[in-house]
Amino acid sequence: MNIREMQEAILKLKKETGTAILAHSYQAREITEIADYTGDSYKLSVDAKGIDNENILFCGVHFMAETAKILSPQKRVYLANPHAGCPMAEQMDKEMIAAIKAEDPDRTVVAYINTTASLKTVCDVCVTSSSALKIVKAIENDKILFIPDCNLGDFVKKNCPDKDVKLLNGGCPTHAAVSANDVLAAKAEHPDALFLVHPECRPQVVELADYAGSTAGIIDFAMKSDAKEFIIGTETSIAEHLQYDCPDKKFYPLTKNLVCNNMKLTTLPDVYRSLLGIASGDGSAAEIIMDDEMIAASRKCIDEMIRLGG
């Protein structure tokens, strides 16, 4: 079966099984093409809440499918490749944060959505990179503990100078591996290009940017800008999608190493096989299973994110 034939088969199986496909913007084009909903993690969380389909098949990493399950507990939610996890989401656990809270109880705990459901149960509000500034500004308490990403946290801290933001030492291994020298090299090669960056990169990289924002923010900025050339400082798939959508502009990945290997684990055959598994009910599709107690306890801070960020 070639790619087009497999996409056709997927579209048919989607209909037959009542499945909606949600794909994060870091997924390959052949996957976003057959998805019902695409976007960054904030948009997909909101989309997951309003879906009518019986089944949701998530193409992304584990915490994203978990978030979809928490927001749509009556649906069966599947992850297209069960091995796709986000290393940042595993860096801190509930016990660690509960211990820090016990020592410093006056802080509102703000968790990047890239965290496990278990950790979310001890947090006050979630944020995504597109909603972090708005939400932290809207929190009445001036004392914040921001976890786990210290780079996104630093970006929030600098843009919310009235808040006392405490950070811990976590972050995205893919974005944090980029250096200021990578930026200088890309700028030397493309002197007319604007540099757009995701705030998961280190502060010394973000400082060199013409625009810093979430995946959706970068896409929106590049599409609306009158500029013709852009260096894209986030996962390389975003430069590829933008190049496809805006053929009259030029997009350069900041470095070819800015690849999230976890996001790249999911392939079109994974999507096809998952749908065959959903159709046959043979248990081969990777369903997200969570008990009601965990769903209720982890949902509070996601609902709070949607309330403050909406």
Given the rule CB under 6 A, which residues bind ligand 13P?
Answer: 40-41, 114, 128-130, 172, 200, 214-215
304, interface contact from ligand SF4, ligand 13P, none, CB < 5-8 Å by kind: none
Q: Cβ closer to ligand SF4: 61 or 70? A: 61
Q: List residues binding ligand SF4 (CB under 6 A).
A: 61, 86-88, 114, 172-175, 200, 235, 260, 262-263
270, interface contact from ligand SF4, ligand 13P, none, CB < 5-8 Å by kind: none
77, interface contact from ligand 13P, ligand SF4, none, CB < 5-8 Å by kind: none
Residue nearest to ligand 13P (CB): 40
Let me know: does 56 contact 78? Beta carbons within 8 Å.
Answer: yes
214, interface contact from ligand SF4, ligand 13P, none, CB < 5-8 Å by kind: ligand 13P
Q: Cβ closer to ligand 13P: 40 or 47? A: 40
Q: Cβ closer to ligand 13P: 114 or 116? A: 114
Per-residue three-class SS string for the chain:
CCHHHHHHHHHHHHHHHCEEEEEECCCCHHHHCCCCEEECHHHHHHHHHCCCCCEEEEECCHHHHHHHHHHCCCCEEEECCCCCCCHHHHCCCHHHHHHHHHHCCCCEEEEECCCCHHHHCCCCEEECCCCHHHHHHHCCCCEEEEECEHHHHHHHHHHCCCCEEEECCECCHHHHCCCHHHHHHHHHHCCCCEEEECCCCCHHHHCCCCEECCHHHHHHHHHHCCCCEEEEECCHHHHHHHHHHCCCCEEEECCCCCCCCCHHHCCHHHHHHHHHHHHHCCCCCCECCCCHHHHHHHHHHHHHHHHHHC
Closest distance between ligand 13P and the C-beta of residue 71, in Å? 15
Q: Cβ closer to ligand SF4: 261 or 284? A: 261
Q: Cβ closer to ligand 13P: 27 or 128? A: 128
Closest distance between ligand SF4 and the C-beta of residue 15, in Å? 29
Q: Cβ closer to ligand SF4: 206 or 275? A: 206
Closest distance between ligand SF4 and the C-beta of residue 173, in Å? 6
Closest distance between ligand 13P and the C-beta of residue 12, in Å? 29
